[in-house]
Chains A and B, each alone.
Chain A
């Protein structure tokens, strides 16, 4: 066990865990930020996507001792009033079915739009290909990203 100081959603947290503990489980089990989901544990499904200094990363595959001073943002900290353009678009298109993958989809989509504010269909398809939606809401996710792109 070792003490780590990590910054999540603008707040600093001290946690005592094994250095190999993935950020995903630090968030879920130690900080009780359960919006970030476990899907595969091997960075194949995207359910655990968070931002590290604004870039989308798979939190299941990044151990806590690699974080250092980098800032983590989770779905809980994406916006103060649930009014990020991507969240608004998700609401407008009523994207979710079961909803389990959607936090990861939203975090990936926001990072995609911050890098590429006007993505083509192909940019969206490629940029979102790491996020599985088992309910197959892909049509709606794509449409919502296009709506969000107009309003970012």
Chain B
């Protein structure tokens, strides 16, 4: 066995004070373990709990409480992060009780749900937490036995010495809690993992299938008022005046307060607050541009043709302009995508109780620490006076990175000095969004002797441009002459991160463009990508941000599992591959013709995300990303007239439903590499794979999302 010795960050594993984890949890209620597929271990109720470090405590009955540090958004971290701790602690998963940790930036790093980074960035720290605790338990046993700790072995919560004598973790937990924190710990060889890499059921499954309170919307507190807010009907408008006479006649309505150009109706039930909000008579006035989607389209198309400032390229390798002049043929295509609302099924909501002593916040939030900072600044209060509790979230998709709803709740509570739950109606949620920005790309490639020799990507987006290392995405690195330019139009329509920001549409543009190049050059689409990746490996262009071998690995795996271009009667295939969030994904879409229109029936997906921590949940996550990608490429359509959104509820905004969802077949590359992202990476390639399959079936190319706006696509 290879032992990995790693120095740890001492601060992370300092035993935390009683206040931050609830301290010695005496008489904690007995909970049956959570694994649905394994046998349930019967435990006597614990009488005493011992905190070993911020992540875990051990009871005198052998049960282990593992804190899940990050917000749970449906990405399964509440199960999979504690699995990593339990693995290194070396206990039975059946003995583990998982609890959502409080926000504690001293004990935990990056309590964020975003960027598909919880597992990747948490991996080392979670392992260290378990391994450190294991080492302290071993040291405690060694002390009791008066032996060298190096001769002791652990397995499933039991410490064994060479002569066969045993001590359970429960028996030494009390003394382990007082042991010195070791300077070095040994991590398991991933080949010996017993929990990580095996399927473990969702720790919240019982609550979910029996309807127990779990989500922010389920919050009920003594004296709590429900708040529903009337907001400006358009981006570019502000409140002029309002009349709340009718609102105040509604049973249950207690108060109406104005704040930040908005009006909050407080009531003793959500329904009364909603009715009160509808009964408000407000007058609005223009405060800025009232923009139309047609205007955005014209503006972005004009920006695509604007010459980039000489030194403002997002990436520039070689001289594409010169290469274009030498090319046999230039291919230039434009791709267009609309705004998209997130539409978490649980609409935005938050609880706040603002008093002179403290600000108590609770609810669904992807960024609890950032939200606390923001509220501290807004209210000029010390962060130590502010608590942010994390509920399970009914979806996030990026919308809950923005704590605007928590700020609203706090402002309303501050005004009325009562506990408040602010609740967005679906109409509020869809029309007061922070949308995926409408974006257009122009891609231009020079071909010489049937090969791509130069490549230019031009982006024009509302408000936000691709950031960080995104301009280094494939095919950067594969070509000596490669250029990326960004342009933007600043709008008052609020935009932000939407599941797989930028790549959710950029991948569609690039992957359909490459498919078209493959057709024009009479090359197999997979072969075209593999040739480019081999060029990247040779270093034809300056380095990209990806590993060409891993990329080729998923391409070949997907082709193999899908039976790429093996004669399949009446089935048309399309291919796409993309690297994002540190993960490699290749997808093959299969389309059949039904009533003369293409219908997607199956997606075959290959993924290299390193170690798969919890396969049953990873498959779920990966399938969800693919179907989400298909759904939004097919149906997602959101625009504005005079600053007002075209849709405000699901009667006029279409989300994919079961009849349209293809079967998704997931295959992971077997790997002992540290895990990478999974919440987002399967989404970006899906739309392109589908468009390429639709081309194979119909001979028609798709350049715009949503696809259903094209008359040859099945509704």
Min CB–CB distance B689 → chain A (angstroms): 16
| A34 to B: closest C-beta gap in Å | 4
Q: Which residues of A contact B425 (CB under 8 A)?
A: 41
Assess whether A100 is in contact with B346, with CB atoms less than 8 Å apart.
yes
Indicate if the CB atoms of B206 and A82 lie closer than 8 Å.
yes
Q: A129-B657, A138-B627, A139-B623 are in contact. Are A87 and B209 (CB under 8 A)?
A: yes
Q: A76-B210, A96-B208, A99-B208 are in contact. Are A134 and B344 (CB under 8 A)?
A: yes
Is the pair B650, A30 in contact by a Cβ cutoff of 8 Å? no
Interface stretch (choices B19-27, B211-219, B527-535): B211-219
A102-B209, A129-B657, A134-B344 known; A37 and B269 CB under 8 Å?
no
Task: Give chain B residues whose Cβ lies under 8 Å from the Cβ of A99.
Answer: 74, 202, 204, 208, 214-215, 392, 394
A144 to chain B, nearest CB (A): 10
Q: B162 in the interface, Cβ–Cβ < 8 Å?
A: no
Task: Tell me how many residues of A have a C-beta within 8 Å of chain B.
Answer: 61
The reply to whether A25 and B270 form a contact with Cβ atoms under 8 Å apart is yes
List residues of chain B with CB within 8 A of the CB of A140: 620, 623
B490 within 8 A of partner (CB): no
Report the bound CA distance from A45 to B426 in whole Å. Answer: 11
Considering only residues 172-228 of chain B, those with a C-beta below 8 Å from chain A are 199, 201-202, 204-206, 208-215, 217-218, 220, 226
Is there a chain A Cβ closer than 8 Å to B18's Cβ?
no
Q: Are A76 and B211 within 8 A (Cβ)?
A: yes
Q: How far is the CB of A48 from chain B (nearest CB, A)?
A: 11
The reply to whether A98 and B395 contact each other, CB–CB distance below 8 Å, is: yes
Q: With a CB–CB cut-off of 8 A, which chain B residues contact A45?
A: 345, 650
On whether the beta carbons of A94 and B345 are closer than 8 Å, the reply is no
Interface residues of A in 25-66 (CB under 8 A from B): 25, 28-30, 32-42, 44-45, 47
Is residue A71 contacting chain B, with contact meaning CB distance below 8 A? no
User: Which of B345, B347, B650 has the most C-beta atoms of chain A within 10 angstroms of its own C-beta?
Assistant: B345
Nearest chain B residue, comparing its CB with the CB of A63: B271
Chain B: minimal CB distance from A133 (Å): 8
How many residues belonging to B are interface residues under a CB distance threshold of 8 Å? 69
Q: A97-B621, A129-B658 are in contact. Are A42 and B209 (CB under 8 A)?
A: no
Report the separation of the CA atoms of residues A136 and B392 in the bound assembly, to the nearest whole angstrom. 18
Q: B82-90, B547-555, B659-667: which one contacts chain A?
A: B659-667
Q: Is the interface of B mostly helix, strand, loop or mixed?
A: loop
A126 lies within 8 A of chain B by Cβ: yes
Is the beta-carbon distance between A35 and B210 smaller than 8 angstroms?
A: yes
Q: Is the CB of A42 within 8 A of B649?
A: yes
Report the nearest A residue to B271, measured CB to CB. Answer: A25
Query: Are B271 and A21 in contact, with the CB atoms below 8 A?
Result: yes
Q: A91-B201, A98-B395 are in contact. Are A39 and B251 (CB under 8 A)?
A: no
Contact B271 A47 (CB under 8 A): no
Judge whether B541 is part of the interface by a CB distance below 8 angstroms: no
Q: Tell me the minimal C-beta distance from A68 to chain B in angstroms.
A: 20
CB distance A29 to B269 under 8 Å? Answer: yes
Question: Any chain A CB within 8 A of the CB of B297?
Answer: no
Contact B211 A96 (CB under 8 A): no
Is B620 within 8 A of A94, CB to CB?
yes
Q: A98-B392, A134-B343 are in contact. Are A91 and B651 (CB under 8 A)?
A: no
Instruction: Judge whether A6 is part of the interface by a CB distance below 8 angstroms.
Output: no
| Cβ contacts under 8 Å, A33 to chain B | 211
Which residues of chain B are near A42, meaning CB under 8 Å?
A: 426, 649-651
Query: Nearest Cβ in chain A — how far from B86, in angstroms?
Result: 18
Interface membership of B141, Cβ < 8 A: no
Complex Cα distance, B37 from A32, in Å, reads 31
Check if B437 is an interface residue, CB within 8 A of chain A: no
Contact A92 B36 (CB under 8 A): yes
Q: Which of A89-108 contact B (CB under 8 A)?
A: 90-92, 94-103, 106
Complex interface residues of chain B between 228 and 275 (CB less than 8 A to chain A) = 250-252, 268-272, 274-275
**Per-position 1/0 for B386-424, Cβ under 8 A of A:** 000000111111000000000000000000000000000
Residue contact A34 to B345, C-beta cutoff 8 Å: no
Task: Give B396's nearest chain A residue, CB to CB.
Answer: A98
A96 to B346 alpha-carbon distance, docked (Å)? 14
> Nearest Cβ in chain B — how far from A77, in angstroms?
9
Minimum distance in angstroms from B209 CB to a CB of chain A? 5
User: Is B685 an interface residue, CB under 8 A from the partner?
Assistant: no
A126-146 to B contact mask, C-beta < 8 Å, 1/0: 101111111111111110000
A32→B220 contact, CB < 8 A: yes
Q: Is B656 an interface residue when CB atoms closer than 8 A count as contact?
A: yes
Quote the shortest CB–CB distance from B251 to chain A (angstroms): 5
- Would you call B74 and A74 a contact (CB within 8 A)? no
Contacts of A47 in B (CB 8 A): 345
Is there contact, CB below 8 Å, between B627 and A136? yes
For residue B65, CB closer than 8 A to chain A, the reply is no
Q: Considering the chains assembled together, what is the distance between the CA atoms of A47 and B621 in angstroms?
A: 20
Residues of A close to B621: CB separation below 8 A: 97
Instruction: Select B208's contact among A1, A22, A102, beta carbons within 8 Å.
Output: A102
CB nearest to A141 among chain B residues = B658
Q: Are A40 and B202 neighbours in the complex by a CB distance under 8 Å?
A: no
Q: How far is the CA of A110 from the CA of B271 in the complex (A)?
A: 28
Q: Which residues of B sit under 8 angstroms from A126, Cβ to Cβ?
A: 659
Residues in A neighbouring B426, C-beta threshold 8 A? 39-42
- Asked if residues A94 and B202 are in contact (CB atoms below 8 Å), the reply is yes
Docked CA distance A136–B74 (Å): 11
How far apart are B466's CB and chain A's nearest CB, in angstroms?
25
In the assembled complex, B147 has its CB within 8 A of some CB on chain A: no
Report B-chain residues with C-beta under 8 Å of the C-beta of A139: 623, 627, 661, 663-664
Does B464 touch A at the CB level, under 8 Å? no
Assess whether B211 is in contact with A103, with CB atoms less than 8 Å apart.
yes
A74 to B209, CA, bound (A): 11
Selected A-B contacts with CB under 8 Å, 7 pairs: A37-B215, A38-B347, A42-B649, A82-B206, A95-B620, A100-B394, A138-B661
- Chain A residues engaging chain B, CB cutoff 8 angstroms: 1, 17-18, 21-22, 25, 28-30, 32-42, 44-45, 47, 74-76, 78, 82, 87, 90-92, 94-103, 106, 124-126, 128-142
B→A interface (CB under 8 Å): 36-37, 73-76, 199, 201-202, 204-206, 208-215, 217-218, 220, 226, 250-252, 268-272, 274-275, 343-347, 392-397, 425-426, 616-617, 620-621, 623-628, 631, 649-651, 655-659, 661, 663-664
Instruction: Report, nearest first, the 5 A-B pairs whose CB atoms are least far apart.
Output: A35-B211, A98-B74, A100-B394, A75-B211, A136-B627
